[in-house]
A and B are shown apart, each in its own frame.
Chain A
Amino acid sequence: QKEVEQDPGPLSVPEGAIVSLNCTYSNSAFQYFMWYRQYSRKGPELLMYTYSSGNKEDGRFTAQVDKSSKYISLFIRDSQPSDSATYLCAMKGAAGNKLTFGGGTRVLVKP
């Protein structure tokens, strides 16, 4: 069983819809939770990070962490075709630098 599980998709939505992404994890030591966006053949770009449980909003993006359920989510409002990419969740413990990534979800936003 992988430490971090993420549905690979693809997730296809019409422009303007809400994109809902999530990851589940098994390691209760994870404290930092990140979402990255990766365009084809490019490096990942950090979108959001959250420490411990709670919600965080930044523009069209909202990240949620539920540590009791070991479940994190990312919501993208008013999705645009430029949001089409692979979205990776990543997690890290309180100490150290190692990021553990989910497998990524491919998102397609159709005009």
Chain B
Amino acid sequence: GAVVSQHPSRVICKSGTSVKIECRSLDFQATTMFWYRQFPKQSLMLMATSNEGSKATYEQGVEKDKFLINHASLTLSTLTVTSAHPEDSSFYICSAKISGAGGYNEQFFGPGTRLTVL
């Protein structure tokens, strides 16, 4: 159980285009999902926290107008990279937390999406 999927797994796009990445919790409901970014040989950096039915909370330094997050249902959050540029090329990973879990709330991670902007 507790499987998180991401789609697409890999995307290559031209500079200036927008790219949408989907994150789905397959067998549980997730009130809260998280979007991370990981550069090669570096750790995960939290970009934003996505809450179902409300606006996302962005970490300092992350442009909310560039990285649009929509958490439309308890099993789906999307990240749209708008007007992508080569410096946006990275590995984007989402995670989801089981709704209503008390105490330590484990985050289950998706397999990641590799974005390459030409």
Q: Choose the segment among A11-19, A55-63, A69-77, A101-109 that binds chain B (4+ C-beta atoms closer than 8 Å).
A: A101-109
Known contacts A41-B114, A42-B111, A43-B111; is-contact A104 B43 (Cβ 8 Å): yes
Count residues of chain B with CB under 8 A from any CB of chain A.
25
A98 proximity list for chain B (CB < 8 A): 46, 49
Interface of B is mostly: strand
A42 to B109, alpha carbons, bound, how many Å?
Answer: 9
Q: Choose the segment among B12-20, B66-74, B82-90, B99-107 that binds chain A (4+ C-beta atoms closer than 8 Å).
A: B99-107
Say yes or no: B43 contacts A101, CB within 8 Å: yes
**B42 is contacted by which of A36, A41, A45, A103 (Cβ under 8 Å)?**
A103
Within 8 A of B (CB), among A15-55: 32, 36, 41-46, 49, 51
A97 to B44, alpha carbons, bound, how many Å?
Answer: 15
Interface centre among B41, B43, B91, B93 (most CB of A within 10 A): B43
Say yes or no: B109 contacts A88, CB within 8 Å: no
Closest to B41 in A: A8
B24 proximity list for chain A (CB < 8 A): none
Query: In angstroms, how far is the closest chain B Cβ from the Cβ of A43?
Result: 4
Count residues of chain A with CB under 8 A from any CB of chain B.
21
Known contacts A8-B41, A43-B93, A49-B104; is-contact A97 B109 (Cβ 8 Å): no
Q: Could you tell me which A residues sit within 8 Å of B by CB distance?
A: 6, 8, 32, 36, 41-46, 49, 51, 88, 97-99, 101-104, 106
Q: Could you tell me which B residues sit within 8 Å of A by CB distance?
A: 4, 6, 32, 34, 41-46, 49, 91, 93, 95, 97, 104-112, 114
Could you name 7 residue pairs across A and B whose Cβ atoms are closer than 8 Å? A43-B110, A44-B93, A51-B104, A97-B97, A99-B46, A101-B44, A103-B43
